[in-house]
C-alpha cells in the first residue's frame, strides 16, 4: 500500500517536539508549537483554560463524530529540598524509576525565567570514593541528587541563584535516529505519537481527503499524572482512539515494527466493536499489527471514561522498548500507526445511533456481532 504519510515531516516534527521540554505542569511552550503547526496546516482549533488542544477536521456529517488523542506532556521531576551540600533533592513528576533518572542531563526552570543545567546522580556516585557502595546502594529517588552546574556548596548558594523548592526539572530527550530506522530517546511516549497524529493531519490536508464524519484531534497536557483526556471532550464524540506506547517485553505481544491494538489496559477492556473495527482495517489494508493486553498502565482513554464520557474507546500503540526509561521505537511502527489512523478517519462510523447519547435501539449491535 502506497503511503500518504510524509516520513521526513513525521521525523522532523518528532525531533522538534523532543527538543522542547514539556514535563507535566509545564507545557505552555509545546502547546504553542503545536498550535502554530495547526495554523500552518490551516486546521481550526481551540484551547482549554490550561492549554489542552482540540483541532477539528470537518467531515461530510457532524455526528456521530470521533476523536483521536495523544499527549504533549512528559515525565519530569521537581525540586524537593535544597541540601546542605549545595545539591538538590528531587521527586518525580509522573511515574518512573530512579534507575532511569541516574545520569540524566536536565534543566531546572526557576521563577523569573532563570534556567540552570545539571545532572541527576546517585548520592554515592564515585567508585574512587565509595568503592562497592556505588553498586550496593538501593535504587530510590531518596538516593538521588541533582548536581547543579554552578558554584554551589551550600543552600545559600542555590538560593542566591533563585533556585527554590518546587522548581520544575525537565529531562533531556537525547534523541538518536539510526540508519536502520531505530529511534532512541526519552519521551517518545508520547511525542512520537503526537508527531504521527500531526503527520496524519497533514496528509488529510495535503491530499484533500474527504472524511465521512467530523474528526477531532486532541492533544492533552496531563496524561502522565493521570488526568489526560478528562476535560477536552464534548458530548457529541461517540468514538475515541487513544495513541500511546505498546511495550516490548517478555510476556507482551506488541508488534515491534507494526501497530498494536490494545484489548485491555489496567482500567479494563476497550470497546469490543471499535477494537475489532481497527483490527479489520489492519487486515483490509495490509498493515502489520498485533493485539496485546497491558497490566500496569493506562491511557488518555481511561481518563475520558472516568470523567463521565459515554464513548467507545480504543488504544492504538506504536512499539516502545524500555518505556519510561531510555526508550526505543522504529520508524516502521510509527508509519504503521499512521496508516491505521488514516484508514480509520476515512471509515464510516460504527453505529448511527451513537449520534445521540440516549435513544431507541436503532442499529445497536446484535449479540454475536
Q: Looking at the predicted structure, is the pLDDT value of residue 267 above 90?
A: no
Catalytic residue numbers read 223
pLDDT given for residue 363 in this prediction: 87
278 and 345 in a single domain? The answer is yes
Percent of the chain scoring above 90 in pLDDT: 77
**pLDDT band for position 1 (cuts 50, 70, 90):** low
The answer as to whether 289 is a domain residue is yes
Closest CA to 196 of 96, 295, 70, 291: 70
pLDDT given for residue 234 in this prediction: 67
323 and 238 in a single domain? The answer is yes
155 and 223 in a single domain? The answer is no
pLDDT given for residue 316 in this prediction: 97
Mean of the pLDDT values across residues 324-336? 97
The answer as to whether 333 is a domain residue is yes
Percent of the chain scoring above 70 in pLDDT: 96
Closest CA to 17 of 172, 194, 223: 194
Which residues are registered as beta bridge partners of 244?
317
What digits encode the pLDDT tens for the residues 114-161? 999 999 999 887 788 888 878 888 899 999 999 999 999 999 999 999
The answer as to whether 322 is a domain residue is yes
The answer as to whether 178 is a domain residue is no
The phi, psi pair for 226, rounded to 5°, reads 95, -5
Q: Which three cell numbers stand for residue 330?
A: 522504529
Cα 284 to Cα 116, 264, 278, 340, distances in angstroms: 52, 23, 10, 10
The answer as to whether 181 is a domain residue is no
97 and 233 in a single domain? The answer is no
Is residue 72 within 8 A of residue 31, CB to CB? The reply is: yes
Q: Please state, as a whole number, how many other Cβ atoms lie within 10 Å of the Cβ of residue 264.
A: 15
Alpha-carbon distance of 331 to 66, in angstroms, equals 26
pLDDT given for residue 344 in this prediction: 98
Cell 454475536, located at residue = 368
Q: Looking at the predicted structure, is the pLDDT value of residue 229 above 70?
A: no
Q: ∠ CA 68-72-74 to the nearest 5 degrees?
A: 130
For residues 23-52, one letter each, b for 16 or more C-beta atoms within 10 angstroms of the residue's C-beta and e for the rest, the string is bbbbbeebbebbbebbeebebebeeeeebb
**pLDDT band for position 366 (cuts 50, 70, 90):** confident
Residues 6+ apart with CB under 8 A from 293: 253, 262, 263, 264, 265
The answer as to whether 360 is a domain residue is no
Mean of the pLDDT values across residues 221-236? 72
Residues 6+ apart with CB under 8 A from 325: 96, 97, 99, 100, 186
Instruction: Name the DSSP letter for residue 137.
Output: S
What digits encode the pLDDT tens for the residues 37-83? 999 999 999 999 999 999 999 999 988 899 999 999 999 999 999 99
pLDDT given for residue 254 in this prediction: 92
DSSP letters, 177-224, are: E-TTSEEEETTHHHHHHHHHHHHHHHHHHHHTPPPSEEEEEEEES-GG
Cα 223 to Cα 48, 242, 344, distances in angstroms: 15, 11, 23
pLDDT given for residue 230 in this prediction: 61
Q: Looking at the predicted structure, is the pLDDT value of residue 107 above 90?
A: yes
**pLDDT band for position 228 (cuts 50, 70, 90):** low
Q: Looking at the predicted structure, is the pLDDT value of residue 339 above 60?
A: yes
Structural domain including 125 reads 76-171
Mean of the pLDDT values across residues 292-307? 82
191 and 87 in a single domain? The answer is no
Last residue of a domain, one of 147, 171, 195: 171
DSSP strand pairing (53-57 vs 168-171): unpaired
Q: Which three cell numbers stand for residue 133?
A: 557502595
Closest CA to 140 of 103, 104, 98: 98
166 and 251 in a single domain? The answer is no
Q: Looking at the predicted structure, is the pLDDT value of residue 11 above 90?
A: yes
Last residue of a domain, one of 120, 142, 171: 171
Alpha-carbon distance of 34 to 45, in angstroms, equals 10
The answer as to whether 43 is a domain residue is yes
151 and 102 in a single domain? The answer is yes
The phi, psi pair for 347, rounded to 5°, reads -85, 160
For residue 95, give the CATH number of its domain.
2.40.30.40
Mean of the pLDDT values across residues 209-217? 96
191 and 319 in a single domain? The answer is yes
The phi, psi pair for 346, rounded to 5°, reads -95, -5
Alpha-carbon distance of 237 to 232, in angstroms, equals 11
pLDDT given for residue 298 in this prediction: 78
Q: Angle between the 272-284 and 331-345 helix axes, to the nearest 10 degrees?
A: 110
Q: Looking at the predicted structure, is the pLDDT value of residue 357 above 90?
A: no
88 and 62 in a single domain? The answer is no
| Residue 225 or residue 12, greater confidence | 12
Is residue 271 within 8 A of residue 312, CB to CB? The reply is: yes
237 and 330 in a single domain? The answer is yes
60 and 81 in a single domain? The answer is no
| Distance in angstroms between the alpha carbons of the first and the last residue of the chain | 29
pLDDT given for residue 223 in this prediction: 81
| Residue 238 or residue 166, greater confidence | 166
Q: Does residue 64 have a cis bond before it (omega within 30 degrees)?
A: yes
**pLDDT band for position 304 (cuts 50, 70, 90):** confident
The answer as to whether 361 is a domain residue is no
pLDDT given for residue 148 in this prediction: 98
62 and 98 in a single domain? The answer is no
For residue 43, give the CATH number of its domain.
3.40.630.10
Q: Does residue 190 have a cis bond before it (omega within 30 degrees)?
A: yes
**Average per-residue pLDDT for the chain:** 93
Domains: count for the chain: 2
- Gyration radius of the chain over CA positions: 22
Amino acid at each position: 500500500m502506497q503511503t500518504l504519510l510524509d516520513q521526513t515531516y513525521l521525523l522532523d516534527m518528532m525531533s522538534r517536539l523532543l527538543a522542547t521540554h514539556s514535563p507535566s505542569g509545564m507545557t505552555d511552550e509545546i502547546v504553542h508549537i503545536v498550535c502554530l503547526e495547526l495554523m500552518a496546516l490551516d486546521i481550526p482549533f481551540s484551547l482549554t483554560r490550561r492549554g489542552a488542544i482540540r483541532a477539528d477536521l470537518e467531515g461530510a456529517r457532524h455526528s456521530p463524530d470521533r476523536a483521536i488523542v495523544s499527549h504533549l506532556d512528559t515525565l519530569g521531576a521537581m525540586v524537593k529540598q535544597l541540601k546542605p551540600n549545595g545539591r538538590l533533592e528531587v521527586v518525580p513528576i509522573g511515574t518512573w524509576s530512579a534507575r532511569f533518572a541516574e545520569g540524566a542531563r536536565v534543566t531546572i526552570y526557576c521563577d523569573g525565567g532563570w534556567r540552570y543545567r545539571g545532572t541527576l546522580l546517585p548520592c554515592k556516585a564515585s567508585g574512587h570514593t565509595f568503592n562497592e557502595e556505588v553498586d550496593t546502594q538501593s535504587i530510590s529517588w531518596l538516593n538521588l541528587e541533582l548536581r547543579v552546574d554552578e558554584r554551589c556548596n551550600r543552600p545559600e548558594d542555590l538560593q542566591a541563584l533563585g533556585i527554590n523548592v518546587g522548581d520544575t526539572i525537565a529531562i533531556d530527550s537525547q534523541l538518536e535516529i539510526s540508519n536502520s530506522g531505530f529511534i532512541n530517546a526519552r519521551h517518545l511516549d508520547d511525542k512520537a505519537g503526537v508527531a504521527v497524529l500531526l503527520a496524519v493531519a497533514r496528509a488529510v490536508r495535503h491530499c484533500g481527503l474527504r472524511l465521512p464524519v467530523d474528526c477531532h484531534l486532541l492533544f492533552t497536557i496531563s496524561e502522565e499524572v493521570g488526568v489526560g483526556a478528562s476535560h477536552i471532550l464534548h458530548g457529541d464524540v461517540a468514538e475515541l482512539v487513544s495513541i500511546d506506547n505498546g511495550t516490548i517485553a517478555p510476556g507482551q505481544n506488541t508488534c515491534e515494527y507494526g501497530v498494536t491494538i490494545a484489548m485491555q489496559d489496567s482500567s479494563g477492556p476497550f470497546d469490543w466493536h471499535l477494537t475489532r473495527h481497527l483490527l479489520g482495517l489492519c487486515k483490509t489494508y495490509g498493515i502489520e499489527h498485533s493485539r496485546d493486553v497491558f497490566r500496569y498502565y493506562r491511557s488518555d482513554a481511561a481518563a475520558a471514561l472516568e470523567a463521565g464520557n459515554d464513548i467507545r474507546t480504543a488504544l492504538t500503540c506504536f512499539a516502545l522498548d524500555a518505556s519510561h526509561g531510555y526508550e526505543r521505537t522504529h520508524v516502521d511502527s510509527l508509519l504503521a500507526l499512521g496508516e491505521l489512523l488514516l484508514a480509520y478517519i476515512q471509515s464510516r462510523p460504527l453505529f448511527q445511533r451513537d449520534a445521540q447519547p440516549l435513544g431507541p435501539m436503532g442499529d445497536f449491535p446484535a449479540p454475536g456481532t
